[in-house]
Amino acid sequence: MAEGPRCLYYALGGGLGHGMRSLALARQIVRSGGGHQLLLFNSPFAPALLSAVAPETGIAAQSLSPDAGPDQAGQRVKEALNTFRPELFVIDTFPRGLGGELATLLPDCSARCVLISRGLPRGYVERYDLAPFVSRHYHLVIAPGEPSPFEGVLPVHRTRPFLVRDWEELPGQDEAARRLGTCVDRPVLLLVGSGTLPECAEVARWAERLAKVWANDLPPLRLALPPGIAVSAGSVPTVMHCPLLECLPAVRLLVGGGAGYNLVHEAGALAVPALYRPRKRKYDDQLARLPLGACFADFRELQVAIHRELQLPRPSLSRYANGAAEAGRLVLSST
């Protein structure tokens, strides 16, 4: 397993998206090419990411403090480049780093640089001349299931969304149901807290409010939160499992407290019905990610949308192809 490339992953940024996308790719590279993978992230949901990385062979992770500034982050990245000595440096979303800290590191970086290029605001891309920067310093640009701001300007390889499990790896519906504390014939309505801690707390409040008016013949209510955070939803059973994708086969309707990359693409890949409360982000256009009719703005709209969705027949789970596998092949063939 040690044979193969040494890959360093820059996965800094809030939420779970950057870390899970990087983990999804790292798993595929290990599977196809072995080697050593090291993930760097600074999410406040570090316990969730670490729990997802822990079972993986050949993959390690280092968590930076969420309070670390660009200088500290840059120092840690520099240390990792010098000590880990990667052959590949995979950067998620931010070509210059979240705080611009990679701008001075990449010119001296001997590793081949790969950009996993999710959307970014046009103003940011233009103000910082990101396209010429990417052209100068990156050897490969991959758009993981969403448009890249560099398409049409630079060569960009499009793939399907990166998912942290292949279809064939998912547990059966009985195992997913067990994780959610239900049985196969009673799939749950799963409210999912993600994004930020206050947003997780808000979703927990929705769960409590729904529980007060919830009829027994409706799908059981469950609240899913990233492992390691201290939020309670009163009487609603809480599930802390990462990756959440492993629970989705037993979900009748998913309610996302945000519309982040993982949640939207995981539910979409499996064709699990889902509603989302899109959040405004500095760099991520969550609304653009959503299909028609899948979002709500407040608790009242949520109630109406749940009522509407539960009238519809439950679709069968959909098989999916994992864009991370395709990206892994692209990365390995580029070395």
Partner 1 sequence: VVVEECQEQSGFLFAHACGHPVAAVCTRCQKAVCEQHTVRGSEGMPLCTTCARQSRDDDGPDSSDLSDDSPYFYSWYHFRRHGFDETEGPDPHDFTEGDQGVLDAPGEEGADEDDPFEDDMGAS
Residues at the contact surface with partner 1, assessed by CB under 8 A: 12-15, 17-18, 42, 44, 66-70, 73, 96-100, 119, 121-124, 127-128, 145-147, 149, 158, 160, 196, 198, 260, 264, 268, 278-293, 295, 297
Nearest to 186 by CA among 245, 226, 237: 237
**Minimum CB–partner distance for residue 77 and partner 1 (Å):** 12
Is 85 or 282 the residue whose CB approaches partner 1 more closely? 282
- What is the secondary structure of 253-293 as a DSSP string? EEEESS--HHHHHHHHHHT--EEE---B-SS-BHHHHPPTT
Give min distance, CB of 259 to partner 1, in A: 10
* Residue nearer to partner 1 on the CB measure, 167 or 283: 283
Helix (H) or strand (E) run with residue 224 in it: strand 221-224
Burial of 106 (0-12, 13-18, 19+ CB in 10 A): buried
Write down the least CB distance from residue 109 to partner 1, Å.
19
Q: With respect to partner 1, which residue has the nearer C-beta, 68 or 131?
A: 68
- Torsion, Cα 319 159 240 60, to 10 degrees, reads 130
Cβ 2 to partner 1 shortest distance, Å: 33
CB of 238 to partner 1, least distance (A): 24
**What φ, ψ does residue 101 adopt, rounded to 5°?**
-75, -15
Instruction: Give the start-end residues of each E strand in 3-151.
Output: 6-10, 36-41, 59-63, 88-92, 112-116, 140-144
Q: How far is the CB of 228 from partner 1 (least distance, A)?
A: 17
The answer to whether 201 touches 207, Cβ cutoff 8 Å, is no
51 in helix, strand or coil? helix
Q: Which residue has the tokens 């590191």?
A: 105
Pick between residue 11 and residue 221 the one whose CB is nearest to partner 1.
11
Least distance CB 181 / partner 1 (angstroms): 29
Q: 245-283: b or e for each residue (b if 16 or more CB lie within 10 Å)?
A: bbbbbbbbbbbbbbbbbbbbbbbbbbebbbbbbbbebee
Q: Report, in angstroms and rounded to the nearest whole number, the Rg of the chain calculated over CA atoms.
A: 20
Cβ nearer to partner 1, comparing 147 with 227: 147
89 vs 276, which CB is nearer to partner 1?
276
**Which CB atom, from 195 or from 328, has the smaller least distance to partner 1?**
195
